[in-house]
Structure 1
Amino acid sequence: MARRQRRFGRAGATVAAAGAALCAGLGACGCSGGGAAAQGAPGGDPVAVLRQAADRLVAAGSSQARTSMEMASGGTRVTIRGEGVYDFRERLGRLKVLLPPDPTGVSERRPITELLAPGALYMKNRGAGVPADKWVRVDTASLSDGNLVTGGATDPLAAAEVLRGTRTAVYAGRTEVAGARVRHYRGTADLSDAARGASAGNRNPLAAAAEGFATAEVPFDVYLDDEGRIRKIRHRFTFVNGRERDTVAVASTTLLYDFGAPVAVRLPDDADIYAGKIAEEPGGEN
């Protein structure tokens, strides 16, 4: 994790990290699924239900997605938002990610286009010395957070596969998310366990995250529809800022809807990928 921590600047550089993470290099525990914790929970043992949630998304094929990532460090809080589509079978997605305003207030940041692919994250309009017509490619297996934080949005399938490591869970009742009736579960997952149960493409990134975060234990809230599909999931991650040595709290929320939506993602050609040096912070020099 040291490598990623060095890239995270002072908290004003926001969780600079938030966006610097955009490639600069970047709860509640409850009881186990048995006994009282499972009483009144439709679908069976909550732990078993949640460990299968990613499979339900793959069966659904695709969806539209909205993401929100909130970071807090040293009294500074920033939010990064994204919107797009994701193909759970092909593990391909496209998001438009909106960074918070420039800390200096001098300029607005343009939306970043992100392409999510097996083993890779591509970003356009990255800034930090990258030409506007070029893409930045990041090998997600090399990221110490497993790309759960780096892109400013958690890959929707990776978010679901964190639940494969569910250790404790409680059924918290019925509610509604974006017009859909859902079942609310609350619990904790272990990233090491999640990595062992994940699909081949997410196994190494989740294992890296288990080592890279301050703790491998991830509290979550998740909302499933009657078909067992995730409609909303919120994880809470923590890591240590390498420069300031303070704890950075990250809350990542993914909202999924319009299942079966068409997804067309064309990955960049090699000639369109930037191979030069990237400034350490957005807007910085090469």
Structure 2
Amino acid sequence: MAEQQHRLRGAALAVAAVVGATALGGSLSGCSDGPADARTGDVDPVRAVRDASAVLSRAGTSKASTSMEMAAGGTRVTIRGEGTYDFRQRVGRLKVVLPRDASGAEEHRPITELLAPGALYMKNRGAGVPADKWVRIDTHTLVDGNLVTGGATDPAAAVELLRGASEVRYVGEAELAGVKVRHYRGVTDIARAAELASPQVRGALAAAAKGFATDAVPFDAYLDEAGRLRKVRHRFSYPSRGRTVAVASTTLLYGFGSPVEVRLPDPRDIYAGRIEA
């Protein structure tokens, strides 16, 4: 079993094998206990950001779009995902599209990902996995807790990560897809977020706290007037092949109340064989 888990971890990391260095811009300042200019009206920036997970749980479900930007060999690439997510059950379904090759041709069919507490299921994984089979990965065994590995940050993990926010300032109002939002910028701590996270997400974030180069994660978060997170962009420092690289992960949430249908694979449909490197 340990050998199989080792193989699965290696297979999952292959999805993010194109990780490379990418520039990070901007500086972060301010804190929650600062003067009045760190606040907007009666809204405490830290409290607003930390409460986003609870607000989304009350909202229930939403559509989600994800993107993960990185640089590889001097070329910036983006992995994109589309789907739906249930913030009460912590389950979702995404179709993840990998970058095209240099000639513009698709190198891989879109990967279907099912997200569930403690697990990531992947279909059309490639690497010797039959097309009709799923790969199952325990997210608490991944060095990044599936914040990076799957090519899309689990929406629940993305918002629960904000529970560890300790430096947040209000940037100002903005408009996102026709919706008025409040823009907050700050830094969150993975280890602190893991301590405060819901039980379904705690194991994955605890693994990430041990695996990332630093616990500090800069972010930009956009909340609507109801306090619902509409967009969050995290900038991770990710260890890969003996060096630290930067990955920017963005999650967009919209269409609240959309139906979410997730049927986890039958054990007979999960691939148990060797996965090619």
TM-score under structure 2 normalisation?
0.89
Aligned to 2:186: 187
- Structure 1 residues 64, 36: closer, same or farther in 2, change over 3 A? same
Aligned to 1:228: 227
Counterpart residue identity of residue 191, structure 1: I
Alignment of 1:159-170 (within 5 A): 159-170=158-169
Aligned to 2:237: 238
Counterpart-to-counterpart distance in 1, 2:253 and 2:110? 21
Aligned to 1:260: 257
Q: CA deviation at 1:207?
A: 1.3
3-state SS in 2 of match to 1:35: coil
CA contact (8 A) 1:95 1:113 kept: yes
- Structure 1 residues 61, 107: closer, same or farther in 2, change over 3 A? closer
3-state SS in 1 of match to 2:27: coil
Counterpart residue identity of residue 222, structure 1: A
Aligned to 1:46: 45
Counterpart-to-counterpart distance in 1, 2:261 and 2:224? 26
Counterpart-to-counterpart distance in 2, 1:160 and 1:107? 31
* Structure 2 counterpart of 1:269, from 261, 266, 269: 266
Deviations 1:241-273 (A, max 9, x none): 22xx33221000000001000011100000000
Deviations 1:201-242 (A, max 9, x none): 111211111111110100000000001100000000012322
Counterpart-to-counterpart distance in 2, 1:168 and 1:37? 15
Counterpart-to-counterpart distance in 1, 2:240 and 2:227? 37
Aligned to 2:173: 174
Between 95-104 and 197-206, report the one with greater CA deviation: 95-104
- Structure 1 residues 47, 276: closer, same or farther in 2, change over 3 A? same
Alignment of 1:1-286 (within 5 A): 7=10, 16-17=17-18, 28-36=27-35, 38-73=37-72, 75-102=74-101, 108-242=107-241, 245-280=242-277
Counterpart-to-counterpart distance in 1, 2:204 and 2:250? 19
Q: CA deviation at 1:73?
A: 4.5
CA contact (8 A) 2:140 2:206 kept: no
Deviations 1:44-88 (A, max 9, x none): 211111111111100000000000001125524221000000000
- Structure 1 residues 149, 15: closer, same or farther in 2, change over 3 A? closer
- Structure 1 residues 104, 60: closer, same or farther in 2, change over 3 A? same
Deviations 1:11-36 (A, max 9, x none): xx995345xxxxxxxx5321111333
Between 73-82 and 153-162, report the one with greater CA deviation: 73-82
Counterpart-to-counterpart distance in 1, 2:179 and 2:106? 39
Report how many residues are paired.
263
The CA RMSD measured in Å over matched residues stands at: 2.2
Where does structure 1 differ by over 4 angstroms across 4 or more consecutive aligned residues?
Answer: 37-40, 103-107
- Structure 1 residues 187, 271: closer, same or farther in 2, change over 3 A? same
CA contact (8 A) 2:68 2:248 kept: yes
Counterpart-to-counterpart distance in 2, 1:41 and 1:263? 35
User: What's the % identity of the aligned pairs?
Assistant: 63
- Structure 1 residues 163, 260: closer, same or farther in 2, change over 3 A? same
Counterpart-to-counterpart distance in 2, 1:28 and 1:261? 36
Counterpart-to-counterpart distance in 2, 1:190 and 1:73? 27
Counterpart residue identity of residue 163, structure 1: L
- Structure 1 residues 43, 124: closer, same or farther in 2, change over 3 A? farther
Counterpart-to-counterpart distance in 1, 2:105 and 2:226? 47
CA contact (8 A) 1:140 1:147 kept: yes
CA contact (8 A) 2:118 2:203 kept: no
Query: Gaps (5+ residues) in structure 2?
Result: 1-5, 20-25
Counterpart-to-counterpart distance in 2, 1:278 and 1:135? 12
3-state SS in 2 of match to 1:151: coil
Counterpart residue identity of residue 237, structure 2: T
TM-score under structure 1 normalisation?
0.86
3-state SS in 1 of match to 2:35: helix
